[in-house]
Amino acid sequence: MIDLLSQLAAWLTSSGQWAGPEGIAQRLLEHVQYSFLSTIVAALIALPIGLFIGHTGRGAFFAINISGFGRALPTVGVVTLVFLASGLSMTPVYVSLIALAIPVIVTNTYAGMIAIEADTKDAARGMGMTGLQSLWRVEIPLAAPLIMTGLRLAAVQVISTATIAAYVSFGGLGRYIFDGLAQRDLTQVLGGAVLVAGLAVTVDLILAGVNRVLFRHRLT
């Protein structure tokens, strides 16, 4: 055990391991790129859906159940299915990561929107705001902390799952886990796992910090 830990420390700190096209720096960059792109695209799809059903109260049952279904999809299954349909490209990876991130963003956005008291929305209308004005100036600002929490959860989930890019021959930190398993190199597997966990925790802390700064005036 001690041996393994010292090997792990050596692996993580050797400069040779960090450099080059298969080095940690490059893999980390790829991992961040896959995760960032997937989360952004998922947000572009999920935020309008969540805002719409939260604002209008229409289609909530449908949207929440569909996205719940999305949560239950096994990511590796989605990757394999899309791979067989679309061939060897990053498409299967992005499709499955986006599918993974959408549900949590939709449900959190919706939860944030319906938590706004009806009186507040009434008051906005009473002041002469249109529906759209009420949405932008009253509802979104009030729902923002929960929406941000959804994005944060999605980002962390995507980062920890983006290892599957390696399953279909691409890079990212999953490369170390898949190659290490195949080559029975436990140090490499552990190193990859530690890096993924470290990245997920770091991003979570950064987004938590952003939340605190953005909503520092809130009582809650």
Partner 1 sequence: MNRRNFAAGALALAVLPMLAACSGGATTLDTPASAPGSAAAGDSAIVIGTANFSENQILGYLYADVLKGAGLTVTVKPNLGSREIVVPALQNGDIDLLPEYQGSLLLYLDPKATESDSDALQKALTAKLPQGLAVLPPSAAEDADVFTVTKESAAKYGLSTLADLAKHNGKLVFGGPAEDKTRQIGLVGLKEVYGAEFKAFKSLDASGPLVKGALKSGDVDVANLFSTDADIVKNGWVMLTDPKHLIPAQRIVPLIRTGKATETVKTALAKLNTALTTEELSKLDALVDVEHQDPDTVAAEWSKAHGLSG
Name the residues that contact partner 1, by CB under 8 A.
Answer: 80, 83-84, 87-88, 166-169, 175, 178-179, 181-184, 186
Residue 198 contacts by C-beta under 8 Å, 6 or more apart in sequence? Answer: none
CB of 209 to partner 1, least distance (A): 34
CB of 162 to partner 1, least distance (A): 16
Nearer to partner 1, 149 or 161 (CB): 161
- Three-state SS for 48? helix
Rounded-to-integer distance, Cα 189 and Cα 165, Å: 15
Decide: 17 and 11 in contact? Cβ < 8 Å.
yes
Helix and strand counts by DSSP (H, E) for the chain: 11, 0
Decide: 27 and 35 in contact? Cβ < 8 Å.
no
Nearer to partner 1, 146 or 165 (CB): 165
Nearer to partner 1, 83 or 110 (CB): 83
CB of 87 to partner 1, least distance (A): 5
CB of 181 to partner 1, least distance (A): 6
Q: Residue 75 carries which side chain, given as an amino acid letter?
A: T
Nearer to partner 1, 87 or 128 (CB): 87
